[in-house]
Amino acid sequence: MTEVLDTVIAAVLSEGWRHWVGSILCLIGAVSTVIAAVGVLRFPDFYTRLHAASVTDTLGALTLLAGMALLAPGIFIVIKMILIGLFLVLTGPTSAHAIANAAYTAGLEPLIGKFRDLKDEDEGESENG
Amino acid sequence: MIYVLGLATALVLLWLGMSGVFEPLVLGLGVVSVIIAIALAIRLDLKDRESSPYHRIFAFLLYTPYLIGEIVKANITVLKAIMSPELDIEPSLVKVKSTCRSDLAKVIFANSITLTPGTVTLRVDDDIMLVHGLYEADAQPEAFEEMDRRSSLAGDGPSTRKGKA
């Protein structure tokens, strides 16, 4: 049973493009995760940092999982990758919403409006805190 | 009863997909686990329509490509915002009115908003959702109409959708 499935998968995806596409997807995931980490440090307040962090949840994690699924040796690894992605897609926004809702309920005011200079926001944040 | 059957199918597929071993002993352990899980679900009264929305699975599948497209677009926007040399963002709070009727559709809509980077649902009061957006232009109520329509189609189905709620 497993051998049959593996041979089918191998026949469909035996060419070199699987390796290349998988590697490129993993690279995209890694780079976007690093950029998101920079964003978490760079953005001015809690809510905007949450936006930066959600990039890791979606593009980062999902492209990494897709890349790993393409590089995987057997069908059962692929199934596990799909399940991990499914759970991430279900739990990621739920926890993000829980954190944001808790912050909003606790009375943390989001910064609203345009700003271009980081110094102004630092002052605004210290006034709030 | 149909929900118990749906749960059993999902559990059996999950076991087979996760284990990948087709020996009698492991399959027997799987059967025992599935029976225990179903017994617990029945005892906890989790076998109703809401906790097993298998009847909506094809609508979910139709919704997925649109959602992935939106996620990719939003990701590019947020990555650009992070990498721009001058911090040029315009956070805003907007109230979005949803036409979704069932709780399931509302959850899909709110989670889709949160899942796309750049927008987070802060609070849900009946059909009004408070959304925090990274760019004011992207977080207008009109921007969510398409997503609202599609998630209500995925969660409610076309038959229960009769105009604006």
Listed residue (B67, B100, B86, B87) closest to B134, CA to CA: B87
Instruction: Mutate one of B93, B115, B129, B151 to test the A interface: name it (highest A CB count within 10 A).
Output: B115
Separation of alpha carbons A49 and A114, rounded Å: 16
User: In this model, does residue A124 exceed pLDDT 50?
Assistant: no
Q: Give the per-residue pLDDT at B123.
A: 83
Does residue A60 form part of some domain?
yes
Q: Count the Cβ atoms, other than its own, within 10 Å of residue B71.
A: 21
Question: Would you say residue A8 has pLDDT above 80?
Answer: no
Closest A-chain CA to B87: A116
Domain membership flag for residue A64: yes
Is A5 inside a domain boundary?
Answer: no
Domain region containing A58: 12-110
Instruction: Work out whether strand B92-97 and strand B119-125 pair parallel, antiparallel, or are unpaired.
Output: unpaired
Give the containing element (helix H, strand E) for B119. strand B119-125
Give A78-120 pLDDT, tens digit per residue.
888 888 988 888 888 888 888 888 888 887 777 776 665 544 4
Q: Is there a domain that residue A96 lies in?
A: yes
B120 and A CB contact within 8 Å:
yes
Give the pLDDT band of residue A27 (cuts 50, 70, 90). very high
Query: What is the model's pLDDT at position A13?
Result: 60
- Ramachandran bin of B96, using left for φ above 0, alpha for ψ from -120 to 50, beta for the remaining angles: beta
Question: Shortest Cα distance from B49 to chain A (angstroms)?
Answer: 19
Rounded to two decimals, the ipTM of the complex is 0.74
Instruction: Give B27: exposed, middle or buried? Use CB within 10 Å, 0-12, 13-18, 19+.
Output: middle
Average pLDDT over residues A26-39: 90
Q: Is the pLDDT higher at A109 or at A13?
A: A109
The helix or strand, by DSSP H or E, that contains position B94, with its residue range, turns out to be strand B92-97
Continuous segment of H or E residues that includes residue B136: none
Mean pLDDT throughout B17-44? 86
* pLDDT of B88 over the 50 cut: yes
A-chain CB neighbours of B92 within 8 Å are: 112-113
Candidates A2, A43, A97: best to mutate against B (most CBs of B within 10 A) is: A97
- Is B147 strand, coil or helix? helix
Q: Do B91 and A48 touch (CB under 8 A)?
A: yes
Between A and B, how many residue pairs show a Cβ–Cβ distance under 8 A? Answer: 123
Total domain count for chain A? 1
- Global pTM value: 0.74
Within-domain flag for A91: yes
Strand blocks (E) in chain A: none
Cβ-defined contact of A100 to B121 (cutoff 8 Å): yes
* Partners of residue B93 in chain A, C-beta under 8 Å: 110, 112
- What residue type is B34 in one-letter code? V
- Which helix (H) or strand (E) segment holds residue A99: the answer is helix A75-105
Question: How many Å lie between the alpha carbon of A17 and the closest alpha carbon of chain B?
Answer: 22
The residue among A5, A51, A89 with the most chain B CBs within 10 A of its CB, best to mutate, is: A51
Which residues of chain A lie closer than 8 angstroms to B88, CB-CB?
116
pLDDT given at position A30? 92
- Say yes or no for a CB contact (<8 Å) between A52 and B78: yes
